[in-house]
Amino acid sequence: MVVVGGHRPTQLVIDCQALRANIHTEVDRLAAGCDLFMVVKANGYGHGAVQVAQAAKEAGATGFCVAILDEALELRAAGFDEPILVLGVTEPADAPVMVEQNISVAVADLEWLELATRSLSLFEMVQPLPVHLALDTGMGRIGFQTKAEVEVVVDFLRQHPAQFNFEGIFTHFSTADDPNDDYFQKQVAKWHDLTDWLPQKPRYVHVSNSATSLWHDACNGNMVRFGAAGYGLNPSGTAIAEPYPLQPAMSLTSELMQARLVPAGSSVSYGATYTLPEDEWIGTVSVGYADGYPRRMQGFDVLVDGQRCEIVGRVCMDQLMVRLPHRYPRRTKVTLIGQDGHERITLQDIADYCDTIHYEIACGFTTRVPRVYRH
C-alpha cells in the first residue's frame, strides 16, 4: 500500500510510552470495579485508532468508545475483541451488523429501538444487541430528558430481551472542565433524578469523560470514558491543573527543504503580507494547511536547532516559510509540535494562538502526514 506523504520528511511522531503512562496512571486511580474504556474516536484524536487501542489495552483499558459504527468495525477488523461502545447515533438498519460484531450502541430515543426491532426481526439472532441508554442531563445533544421517557424505554427493553441487552446507562457533562461547577452540579442532580428510581442498574453506569474523572471522580460510576487525558492533553486547557502530570503523545516534525538569503524589500508568500526589512535567511518547510497545520499560524514559531524561528508570510497549502538566524543546511530538523533542546511547543500553544482547543488541532492532521510510532 502506498503511503501518501511517505516520500517527504513531515511526520507525526506518536509516543506510545506516553499513552501507556497516562492511561495506566488513571487506571491505578480508579476505584475497585471501575473499568476504563479508552476513547479512540476520530482516528484516536488524530493519533491512530488501532495503535492507540493497542497501547491502551496494554495499559489496562478494558474496552473502547468510538463515535460512529465504522470506527468500531475498524477495531474489530484489527482483531480487538474487547467491548466497544458507539457513542453517536447509528442507523437502526445497522442493528444486525452490530449484533454480529458484538458492538454496543447508544440509544437516544424510543423510535430507534422500534425501528431496530424490525431490522432484527429479519435477522437470525445469535445474541441480543447491547444498548446503553443516553440521558440528556444538560448537554443538549442526544438522549432522554425526563424520568417518564426513561421509564417507557426501560419497560420496552424488558419486553424485548431476545433483541436487546440493557447493558448500560450514561450521560455526558458539558462543564466538567470548568473551575465553576454550578452547571456541573445541576447535571449531577438531573442524573440522579433520571436514574435513582431504577430498581436494578445495568452492567455499566457511566458519566465520566476525562475531565469528570480527573476532577470529579466521586461521580465515576463503574466505567470511565477516558479521552483527551489519555493522549496527554489537559481537558480544561489551562483552566485547571491536572492531578498528575500528563505526557503529551504527539509531536509534529519536518525538515528544511531549502534555506536562502533573501534580499531586503522582497516579500514572502501569498498576499505579500511580509516584506523583509533587511536581508534575511528564509527557510522553507514542507508542511501546510492541507496537512492540518492551520493557515492562521503566520507569526507563530517553529523550532530549528532548538531555537524559535518565526513563520513569515502566510502558511501555504503545502509549505511554510520561517525566518532563520543564519543559514542551515538542507534537511535540518524542524519541530512544529514537541521538544527541541530547551524549547517546547505544545498543542495547547497552537490552540491558544488559533483561539481554539487542542482537540481540534490534534484531530485536524490529515492522512497525508504519516504517523510514526515510538514504542
Can you say which residues are annotated as belonging to the binding site for substrate? 141, 317
Phi and psi torsions of 365, nearest 5°: -70, 130
In three-state secondary structure terms, 94 is helix
Catalytic residue among 147, 270, 328, 353: 270
Beta bridge mates, 262: 280
Residue 3: how many CB atoms within 10 A of its CB?
10
Determine the length of the chain: 375
Q: What whole-number distance in Å separates Cα of residue 247 and Cα of residue 182?
A: 30
Catalytic residue among 41, 190, 328, 359: 41
Catalytic residue list contains 270: yes
Strands 129-134 and 104-107: parallel
Measure CA 176 to chain center: 16
Binding residues: 141, 317
Alpha helical stretches, state H, the chain = 16-29, 41-45, 49-59, 69-77, 95-100, 110-121, 147-159, 182-195, 210-215, 347-354, 358-363
Residue 266: how many CB atoms within 10 A of its CB?
13
Tell me, what DSSP letter sits at residue 6?
T
Cell of 68: 460512529
Catalytic residue list contains 41: yes
Q: What whole-number distance in Å separates Cα of residue 92 and Cα of residue 112?
A: 6
> Which residues are catalytic, by number?
41, 270
